[in-house]
Amino acid sequence: MRVIAIEEAFSVPGITPPFVGSRSALASGWAERWDRLLADVHEERLADMDANGVDVQVLSLTSGIERIGDATLAVERARQANDHLAAIVATRPDRFAGFAALPLQDPTAAVAELRRAVEELGLVGALQNDHVDGIYLDDARFEPVWAELERLDVPLYLHPAVVPAEQIALYRGIAALSGPSWGWTAATGGHALRLLYSGVFDRHPGAKLVLGHMGELLPFQLARLDSRFEQVPAADRPAHRPSTYLRRNVYVTTSGLFSHPALTAAVDTLGLEHVLFAIDYPYERSAEAVDFLRTAPLAPADLSRVAHANAERLLRLPSPSDPRP
């Protein structure tokens, strides 16, 4: 069975801040491991893919561009990162594709860079690490970006940010709460709901949003989102119930949430075509992710859609004959 993983991080020297020395909350050894694996593409990464039966990784820049305060520098760094990524893909187009980094600090430049990345470099969409210096993507300044995503018919992958837009008192003193175990999920899922409730998907019905980690809890909250919709004042509501947008505009990936009950729930609530495989390499282990995929309680044809066919359709990736039984 062909396997395509679509949330797989890499780093670029001089653009991506290293983990070593910057993440005191990490247990010993993790920062060094991640810095090494993020920077590597053709040695350990390909070996890991081969060992675990991953045919293609869709690469995206780990945290970096969104943390640059100077808009001019952000534009320069995004262009460098996307050129670097395109060069990686060009060396092994059979094994890699890529999401562009956007300098959203300057929305006009971000539109131009998105267009260049897709039409000239061959990248398959964009990935943004949550907010832009505390500004969320429902802000009016980003309307041209949504319009260009819709015109190009490519998705935006909304990923958690290392640095939150604001510090929440609930997490104070307990580092585990503010990161990937809870805080990132709450922040990114909430950001997606801002897009929904602000009417982004009414103004851009063809826009496509991808959420990792099985949808940042939103598929499991879908019934309650709909049940409370009627209590929202009409002036503050979008045109449709939240479930309409989640089933039409939102796609979710399995990155970092390797649970068969969660997978089944996501498929049941959003529909099979809106669930895609991802690992979150190198932050998660490929062996665990692929074992979860191959043992999933889905019919073979449905499993193939999650494993590769949905990604091929959404990202317009080539679909060669399956090399594996």
Asked, for residue 43, whether it belongs to a domain, the answer is yes
Which is the catalytic residue, given 35, 138, 280, 291? 280
User: Which string of DSSP letters, residue by residue, matches 183-223?
Assistant: HHHHHHHHHHHHHHHTTHHHH-TT--EEESHHHHTGGGGHH
Per-residue pLDDT, 100: 98
- The domain of 256 spans 4-315
Per-residue pLDDT, 143: 98
Average pLDDT along the chain, 325 residues, taken 10 residues at a time: 97 80 59 90 95 98 90 96 98 98 98 98 97 95 98 98 86 88 94 97 98 97 94 92 98 98 98 98 97 98 98 93 47
Asked, for residue 184, whether it belongs to a domain, the answer is yes
Per-residue pLDDT, 28: 61
- What the block records as the tokens of 93 is 């187009």
The rounded distance, in Å, linking the Cα atoms of 277 and 315 is 13
The rounded distance, in Å, linking the Cα atoms of 57 and 49 is 8
Closest CA to 183 of 166, 195, 200: 166
80, 12 Cβ separation under 8 angstroms: yes
Asked, for residue 243, whether it belongs to a domain, the answer is yes
The CATH number given to whatever domain includes residue 89 is 3.20.20.140
Considering only CA atoms, give the Rg of the chain.
19
- What the block records as the tokens of 153 is 């018919």
Total domains present in the chain:
1
Per-residue pLDDT, 31: 82
Q: Please confirm whether the linkage preceding 282 is cis (ω < 30° from 0).
A: yes
Confirm whether 236 is a catalytic residue: no
Asked, for residue 322, whether it belongs to a domain, the answer is no
Asked, for residue 139, whether it belongs to a domain, the answer is yes
- List Cβ neighbours of 72 (8 Å cut-off, separation of 6 or more): 106
Asked, for residue 244, whether it belongs to a domain, the answer is yes
Asked, for residue 321, whether it belongs to a domain, the answer is no
- List Cβ neighbours of 65 (8 Å cut-off, separation of 6 or more): 15, 74, 77, 78, 81, 101, 102, 103, 129
Per-residue pLDDT, 18: 76
Asked, for residue 255, whether it belongs to a domain, the answer is yes
- What the block records as the tokens of 80 is 């460098």
The pTM for the full model equals: 0.95
